């Protein structure tokens, strides 16, 4: 373990997705792993790897989800870790329909083994169109020689403790925390991506894309534009405290997914015989509602292998049915697949685009999140069985501020492809 065991460092660590107490265990386990032979049929062994579960909660205040507090969050807009050098151009678009991607969730997952990953956040975006996701299914099997057109993308951002954006002291979380510099201006419509284009008339509204400029114009800005023009010419430039307000307040579109905080609990704390006992206080929904969602997924499965796989998936998930995220950055960790079909094999997982090193599985998102997002259960609605994310095992550095990592989506029914 590290030697700089100052109290304030501990405060930082308490924000991370894996609690401090787990770290010693995880490291020891990795050491052991080197001497053990790699065994594919290690289901029982897998049980022993500690998994952190993520649950969604309505934030007590939108303030808690601001970037200076390094949140784990789902829905709404991203709390960009590096607020300046955001992914832009093609990276921010669905490669299939070319619409800007929608923010799904972000996980604050610093790694204390390296100075450059003192802060580290992973961001998941996806196109909300199910037909794009169905095409994405074919793209994800492509080897790296062909460039896959993805409708789901994951970015990794990381930085040193001492950086230009945040205090090197842990946040107080009492409303006094402020980022040291304001971020790039964001799109007035989606609030997600960089607002690189400016409305030629009011010179105030900004857009990530022409598509969002047109939407904003048709759905409100047309009438606001000249009014803004008058008021902005009589007042000074936007003041620096702007970033202290909830970013969501400045977003014009109403199609973002609802915003939640993701809170973490160890899966082992749900091992009790009574599955609901552990998280009834923090859950938003009764277990019955979630079971309904899960049962409707079950109806779609066909093969007996998938039913068997689904049964063991459901048994494991049943310990804490409201979980939306399973996190485990352990070299031996593997995703918990709902189905046996549509899983990648080792050769389907590429190497890191930036350092060519191996990727390792880090977390997966569960379909319960769609329920919390209020996504309908219609045939053409967005739906998936799980989204699994692999990241550079070395969490490499380099000049690209947001590095694209590898994501695999397993759909709940292969028959719809």
Chosen residue from 205, 339, 365, 382 binding Zn ion by CB under 5 A: 205
CA distances from 217 to 15, 203, 205, 214, 227 (A): 40, 14, 10, 5, 14
If one asks whether residue 93 binds Zn ion (CB under 5 A), the answer comes out as no
If one asks whether residue 104 binds Zn ion (CB under 5 A), the answer comes out as no
In contact, 73 and 252? CB cutoff 8 Å: no
If one asks whether residue 154 binds Zn ion (CB under 5 A), the answer comes out as no
> How do strand 52-57 and strand 325-327 relate by DSSP bridges?
antiparallel
Left, alpha or beta for 108 (phi > 0: left; psi -120 to 50: alpha)? beta
Stretch that binds Zn ion, among 119-127, 230-238, 240-248, 377-385 (CB under 5 A): 119-127
Q: How far is the CB of 139 from Zn ion (least distance, A)?
A: 11
If one asks whether residue 411 binds Zn ion (CB under 5 A), the answer comes out as no
If one asks whether residue 91 binds Zn ion (CB under 5 A), the answer comes out as no
If one asks whether residue 352 binds Zn ion (CB under 5 A), the answer comes out as yes
In contact, 248 and 234? CB cutoff 8 Å: no
> Which residues, including other chains, have CB under 8 Å from residue 19's CB and lie 6 or more apart?
52, 264, 266
In contact, 58 and 284? CB cutoff 8 Å: yes
If one asks whether residue 333 binds Zn ion (CB under 5 A), the answer comes out as no
CB atoms within 10 A of CB 126: 25
Enter the tokens of residue 333. 């960790």
If one asks whether residue 400 binds Zn ion (CB under 5 A), the answer comes out as no
Distance CA(384)–CA(395), nearest Å, equals 27
If one asks whether residue 190 binds Zn ion (CB under 5 A), the answer comes out as yes
Distance CA(238)–CA(190), nearest Å, equals 19
If one asks whether residue 189 binds Zn ion (CB under 5 A), the answer comes out as yes
CA distances from 230 to 147, 198, 235 (A): 47, 16, 9
DSSP H/E element including 156? strand 152-159
Chosen residue from 51, 56, 74, 94 binding Zn ion by CB under 5 A: 94
Chosen residue from 86, 96, 105, 290 binding Zn ion by CB under 5 A: 96
Chosen residue from 14, 162, 201, 286 binding Zn ion by CB under 5 A: 201
Stretch that binds Zn ion, among 49-57, 171-179, 197-205, 244-252 (CB under 5 A): 197-205
Left, alpha or beta for 240 (phi > 0: left; psi -120 to 50: alpha)? alpha
Radius of gyration of the chain, Cα coordinates, nearest whole angstrom: 22
Stretch that binds Zn ion, among 11-19, 38-46, 224-232, 319-327 (CB under 5 A): 224-232
CB atoms within 10 A of CB 246: 18
Enter the tokens of residue 339. 């189905």
Stretch that binds Zn ion, among 9-17, 44-52, 204-212, 312-320 (CB under 5 A): 204-212
Residue 94 or 262 with smaller CB distance to Zn ion: 94
Residue 76 or 321 with smaller CB distance to Zn ion: 76
Distance CA(212)–CA(191), nearest Å, equals 10
If one asks whether residue 77 binds Zn ion (CB under 5 A), the answer comes out as no
Q: How far is the CB of 138 from Zn ion (least distance, A)?
A: 14
Q: How far is the CB of 337 from Zn ion (least distance, A)?
A: 25
Chosen residue from 129, 137, 264, 322 binding Zn ion by CB under 5 A: 129
Query: Total binding residues for Zn ion by CB under 5 A?
Result: 23
Q: How many residues does the chain have?
A: 417
Q: How far is the CB of 127 from Zn ion (least distance, A)?
A: 3
If one asks whether residue 66 binds Zn ion (CB under 5 A), the answer comes out as no
Chosen residue from 20, 134, 225, 400 binding Zn ion by CB under 5 A: 225
Binding region for Zn ion (CB under 5 A): 94, 96-97, 127, 129, 132, 151, 187, 189-190, 199, 201-202, 205, 208, 212, 225, 352, 354-355, 357, 392, 396
């Amino acid at each position: 373990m590290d030697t700089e065991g100052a109290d304030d460092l501990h405060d930082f660590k308490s924000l991370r997705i894996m609690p401090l107490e787990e770290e010693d265990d995880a490291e020891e386990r990795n050491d052991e792993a080197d001497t053990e032979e790699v065994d594919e049929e290690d289901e029982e062994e897998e049980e022993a790897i500690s998994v952190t579960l993520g649950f969604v909660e309505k934030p007590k205040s939108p303030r808690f989800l601001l970037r200076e507090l390094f949140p784990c969050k789902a829905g709404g807009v991203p709390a960009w870790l590096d607020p300046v050098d955001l992914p832009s151009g093609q990276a921010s678009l669905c490669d299939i329909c070319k619409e800007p991607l929608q923010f799904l969730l972000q996980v604050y997952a610093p790694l204390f083994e390296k100075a450059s990953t003192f802060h580290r956040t992973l961001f998941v975006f996806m196109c909300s169109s199910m037909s794009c996701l169905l095409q994405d299914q074919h793209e994800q099997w492509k080897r790296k020689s062909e460039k896959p057109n993805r409708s789901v993308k994951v970015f990794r951002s990381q930085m040193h403790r001492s950086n230009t954006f945040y205090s090197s002291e842990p946040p107080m979380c009492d409303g006094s925390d402020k980022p040291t510099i304001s971020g790039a201006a964001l799109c007035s419509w989606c609030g997600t991506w960089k607002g690189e284009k400016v409305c030629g008339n009011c010179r105030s509204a900004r857009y990530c894309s022409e598509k969002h400029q047109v939407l904003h114009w048709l759905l409100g800005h047309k009438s606001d534009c000249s009014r803004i023009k008058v008021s902005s010419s009589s007042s000074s430039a936007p003041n620096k405290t702007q970033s202290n307000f909830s970013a969501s307040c400045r977003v014009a579109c109403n199609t973002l997914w609802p915003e939640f905080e993701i809170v973490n609990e160890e899966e082992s704390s749900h091992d009790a015989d009574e599955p609901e006992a552990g998280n009834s206080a923090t859950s938003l929904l009764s277990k019955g509602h979630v079971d309904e969602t899960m049962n409707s997924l079950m109806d779609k499965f066909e093969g007996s292998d998938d039913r068997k796989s689904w049964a063991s998936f459901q048994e494991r998930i049943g310990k804490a049915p409201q979980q939306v995220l399973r996190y485990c950055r352990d070299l031996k960790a593997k995703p918990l697949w709902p189905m046996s079909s549509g899983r990648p094999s080792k050769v389907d997982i590429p190497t890191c685009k930036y350092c060519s090193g191996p990727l390792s599985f880090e977390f997966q998102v569960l379909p319960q999140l769609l329920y919390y997002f209020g996504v309908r259960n219609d045939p053409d609605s967005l739906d998936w069985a799980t989204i699994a994310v692999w990241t550079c095992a070395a969490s490499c550095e380099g000049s690209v501020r947001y590095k694209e990592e590898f994501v695999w989506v397993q759909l709940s029914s292969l028959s719809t492809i």
